[in-house]
C-alpha cells in the first residue's frame, strides 16, 4: 500500500500532544508531515525535527509576507541542519482575506516569490545551507517558477481529474528526481459518504469564495459549478453556495467515504502524478486529533 503524508497543525494547549502525534505518524510509516500556515508552522517543524528521526517534514506553506526573508532563512537553515536534511520549506503568498485581516499589501505573486527566494539564498551565505524550497502553486506560471527556482510544488485542493495536466508542466527529468509534487487533500473517513461530503463542503466553502481558486476549477472543467457559485455569492446566499458544490467536483477536490474508498482515492492521486498526497484530516465526529486517529486506522 502506498502511504500518503499527513497535514499537521498545532493549536494552543495541544502543542506537546501534536509533537507526540508527529512521532506516531513517523512510527506508522507515513511518508511525510506537512504543516499549514495556521499557528506557527515553522516553529512546529522545529519541534518535529527534534521528535522524529527519518520522516520528511515541512511547511505547506509559510506565507512570505509574514516574515523577513533573512529571518526565515536563518531559522530554515537551523532546522535543515538539525534534521539532517529532512526539512522542506514550503512558501507562498497566501490569500486575499488573510492579507486584509493583517493589513498586508501584497505585490505581484510571481515577482515577490522570486525576489524572496533570491533574498533567502543571499542570506544563506551567512546562516548556512537552506533546505529545499517548495512553492505553493495552483496554476501554470507558478508551477513553472517552482521548476526554475525551487525544489518542489505543492497544491491545495487541486482537482484530481486535471492534476496530470498540471504535472505535465514539470519536465519529466525533474519529476523523476527529488522534486516534490504534493497536494493538500481535505479528507474525511466516514462510512456515511453523504456526511463526509457535507463536512468537506464546509471546509471548501471559503476556498470557492476566492477568485483564483474558482478560475483554477474552471480550468479543470467545472465552469458551470463555479459560475453558479459566483452568482450565489453575488446574491449573498451561503446555502446556495453549498448546493452548487456538486458531488463530481467535490470528489475530485477532496477525499471522503469509507476507509476503502479513501484508500482507493489516494491510489488514484498517485496514478495522476501526485508523488506526495497530503491528507488534511477532518472528521464528522471530532476534532483534528480524532480525525488523525481515523486516518491511522484507515492505513493500519
pLDDT, one tens digit per residue, over 225-237 is 999 999 999 999 9
Q: What is the pLDDT of residue 253?
A: 98
Distance from chain centroid for Cα 153: 10
Q: Average of pLDDT values for 217-230?
A: 97
pLDDT, one tens digit per residue, over 246-296 is 999 999 999 999 999 999 999 999 999 999 999 999 999 999 999 999 999
pLDDT, one tens digit per residue, over 77-97 is 999 999 999 999 999 997 677
Q: What is the C-alpha separation between 98 and 120, in angstroms, rounded? A: 23
Are the beta carbons of 68 and 122 closer than 8 angstroms? no
- Whether residue 31 is contained in a domain is answered as yes
The DSSP secondary-structure symbol of 280 reads E
Instruction: Provide the b/e sequence for 264-296 (b: ≥16 CB within 10 Å).
Output: ebbebbeebbbbbbbbbbbbbeeebeebbbbbb
- Whether residue 229 is contained in a domain is answered as no
Q: What is the pLDDT of residue 99?
A: 57
- Whether residue 220 is contained in a domain is answered as no
The DSSP secondary-structure symbol of 87 reads E
Q: Average of pLDDT values for 54-63?
A: 96
- Whether residue 221 is contained in a domain is answered as no
- Whether residue 200 is contained in a domain is answered as no
pLDDT, one tens digit per residue, over 104-143 is 777 899 999 999 999 999 999 999 999 999 999 999 999 9
Three-class DSSP category at 231:
helix
Domain range for residue 284?
A: 5-191+254-298
Instruction: Please state whether the predicted TM-score (pTM) of the whole model is above 0.85.
Output: yes
What are the φ and ψ backbone dihedral angles of 197, each rounded to 5 degrees?
Answer: -65, -40
Cell of 29: 510509516
CATH number at residue 282: 3.20.20.30
Q: Average of pLDDT values for 50-63?
A: 97
Measured CA to CA in angstroms, residue 6 lies from 26, 110, 280, 281 at distances of 10, 28, 6, 8
C-alpha neighbours within 13 Å on the C-beta side of residue 29:
7
Reduced to 3 DSSP states, what percent helix, strand and coil does the chain have, rounded to the nearest 5? 55, 15, 30
Label residue 12 by pLDDT band (50, 70, 90). Answer: very high
Length of the chain: 300
Residue 265 CB partners (closer than 8 Å, separation 6+): 160, 255, 257
- Whether residue 214 is contained in a domain is answered as no
Q: Average of pLDDT values for 28-54?
A: 96
- Whether residue 245 is contained in a domain is answered as no
The position carrying cell 501534536 is: 18
pLDDT, one tens digit per residue, over 158-199 is 999 999 999 999 999 999 999 999 999 999 999 999 999 999
- Whether residue 242 is contained in a domain is answered as no
What are the φ and ψ backbone dihedral angles of 95, each rounded to 5 degrees?
Answer: -115, 160
- Residues of the chain with pLDDT > 70, as a percent, come to 98
Q: Average of pLDDT values for 194-223?
A: 96
Query: For the chain, what is the domain count?
Result: 1
Amino acid at each position: 500500500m502506498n502511504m500518503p503524508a499527513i497535514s499537521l497543525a498545532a493549536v494552543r494547549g495541544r502543542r506537546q500532544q501534536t509533537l507526540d502525534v508527529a512521532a506516531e505518524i513517523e512510527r506508522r510509516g507515513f511518508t511525510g508531515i506537512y504543516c499549514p500556515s495556521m499557528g506557527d508552522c515553522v516553529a512546529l517543524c522545529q519541534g518535529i525535527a527534534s521528535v522524529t528521526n527519518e520522516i520528511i517534514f515541512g511547511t505547506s506553506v509559510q506565507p512570505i509576507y509574514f516574515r523577513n526573508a533573512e529571518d526565515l532563512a536563518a531559522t530554515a537553515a537551523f532546522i535543515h541542519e538539525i534534521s539532517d536534511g529532512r526539512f522542506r520549506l514550503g512558501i507562498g503568498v497566501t490569500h486575499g482575506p488573510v492579507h486584509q485581516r493583517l493589513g498586508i499589501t501584497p505585490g505581484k505573486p510571481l515577482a515577490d516569490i522570486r525576489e524572496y527566494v533570491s533574498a533567502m539564498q543571499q542570506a544563506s551565505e551567512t546562516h548556512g545551507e537552506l533546505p529545499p524550497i517548495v512553492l505553493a502553486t495552483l496554476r501554470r506560471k507558478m508551477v513553472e517558477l517552482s521548476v526554475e527556482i525551487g525544489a518542489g510544488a505543492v497544491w491545495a485542493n487541486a482537482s484530481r481529474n486535471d492534476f496530470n495536466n498540471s504535472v505535465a508542466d514539470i519536465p519529466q527529468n525533474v519529476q523523476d528526481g527529488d522534486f516534490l509534487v504534493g497536494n493538500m487533500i481535505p479528507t474525511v473517513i466516514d462510512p456515511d459518504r453523504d456526511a463526509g461530503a457535507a463536512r468537506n463542503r464546509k471546509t471548501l466553502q471559503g476556498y470557492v469564495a476566492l477568485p483564483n481558486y474558482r478560475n483554477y476549477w474552471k480550468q479543470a472543467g467545472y465552469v458551470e459549478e463555479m459560475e453558479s457559485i459566483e452568482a450565489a455569492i453575488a446574491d449573498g446566499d451561503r446555502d446556495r453556495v453549498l448546493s452548487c458544490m456538486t458531488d463530481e467536483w467535490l470528489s475530485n477536490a477532496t477525499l471522503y467515504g469509507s476507509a476503502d474508498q479513501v484508500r482507493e482515492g489516494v491510489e488514484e492521486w498517485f496514478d495522476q502524478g501526485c508523488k506526495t498526497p497530503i491528507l488534511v484530516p477532518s472528521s464528522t465526529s471530532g476534532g483534528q486529533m480524532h480525525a488523525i486517529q481515523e486516518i491511522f486506522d484507515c492505513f493500519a
